[in-house]
Chains A and B, each alone.
Chain A
């Protein structure tokens, strides 16, 4: 395991393609008796915007949390830039600093202002100078339209504002990949748009993004690939055009038809 880390080539030939950034192999995760992920295989290329869809309890969030190592997989491997993830805390920390995460419940640091939230990672993890961290924070806060609120505490912001700050905080680390765990699920309907807009413009910058979401329209418009999860398996992995019009899996068809029906009902009102 140790010998793998320095210099040696990954065993899989395909993994050495430069553009592949994350590869997941046979990833399984159980919580006690309950198996949440069953031998998940997929890879992420640089610049991919992958939306992960599926009903609640299908393992989407757990998959994302495993990729960030907030959960340790029971079985299987994760490769980052062709190398298997290290097991020591130091290696995990370094990896996490390059793979950011945006949470459903924002998880902004309540004891810090918006500005300090965005400087925490760059100061404490990347050890940038104060000026550099400050400038970076301001730049990213400007890009999500939250720069005027640098002095506010999280408790003083709306959900949509909090999530925009959380995205800026993630961007400040200049991550190679940004993971989104249902970023709009905890928001009031009228705030969903502002967050999705920020994410849309992010996708255009070429940032690699993995997004667990229930926003079908967003997934359709923005993603380069759509994954559909069901009972711990990936049952469909297709480009959005194919996914939404002609999916292979019956489970996806069922899911989409229910979604379209709901949409119609909403439209009738």
Chain B
């Protein structure tokens, strides 16, 4: 190499440029896992949260009662297990566990799966809280006009609960974006593993990790702003347009 870097900043620049391909690849994989894991995790969380919140009423048919009860127990165990163990351990167990039973899962899929399960366990509680935060009258208003309990949930309660938990969902995504770094233990080529590789050549780990720290920071910063914007949009307009065509003259 013609000009060997003489200070830290030159080293950072060298690593960032020479291994840009690695960092770009790592960023893409990190984003793919965070997005896929978070979105599927939300779906899991919503399903688990709704089942958790549902009540078994005496008028339900017996098979439905048994099924609901079973699901409630399974989901309870699932939530406890995933909330009470570190994600890095979950990653190892899921990845090697699946390979153990003979399924050749690739690290990225395993990473998405772990992120999904982890997100689902946390989101379930958030969704349940979100549903609980909606005044019971909303549900009663819907039921009283003949809507089914499921219809009331889908059309009335969930849209309102969803709006309330958007900040928490954004939070979860940002957490996931950073948590994907633990997936290096199962060999996912996300940002952290790429930094390790890049740093290894010249034994310049500090500089290499500074590069990905900057990438993580910029990503989180940007997404945070985007979510704030969405939240603002969702809050809706403060005023409304009077339907003049229905105004009576004497009013």
Contact = CB atoms under 8 A, between A and B. Distances in A.
Interface string B174-215: 000000000000000000000000000000000000000000
Given A103-B140, A107-B138, A149-B242, A89 B146 contact: no
Interface stretch (A8-16, A151-159, A223-231): A151-159
Interface residues on B, range: 20 to 34
A152 B142 contact: no
B9 interface: no
A70 B241 contact: no
Interface residues of A, number: 42
B146 A125 contact: yes
A169 to B, nearest CB: 7
B59 interface: yes
A110 to B, nearest CB: 6
A94 B147 CA distance: 9
A87 B59 contact: yes
B243 A153 contact: no
Interface string B49-91: 0000000001100000000000000000000000000000000
Interface string B132-144: 0001011011111
A111 B137 contact: no
B97 interface: no
A96 interface: yes
B145 A97 contact: yes
Contacts of A152: 240
Contact of A89 (B149, B159, B160, B248): B149
B99 interface: no
A173 B146 contact: yes
A98 to B, nearest CB: 8
A111 B159 contact: yes
Interface string A57-68: 000000000001
Closest CB pairs A-B (n = 7): A97-B146, A107-B141, A147-B246, A107-B137, A101-B144, A121-B145, A96-B146
14 contacts: A89-B149, A93-B148, A95-B146, A96-B146, A97-B145, A101-B145, A107-B138, A121-B147, A138-B246, A148-B242, A148-B244, A148-B246, A156-B240, A169-B145
Interface of B: 58-59, 135, 137-138, 140-149, 151, 155-156, 159-160, 163, 236, 239-244, 246-248, 251
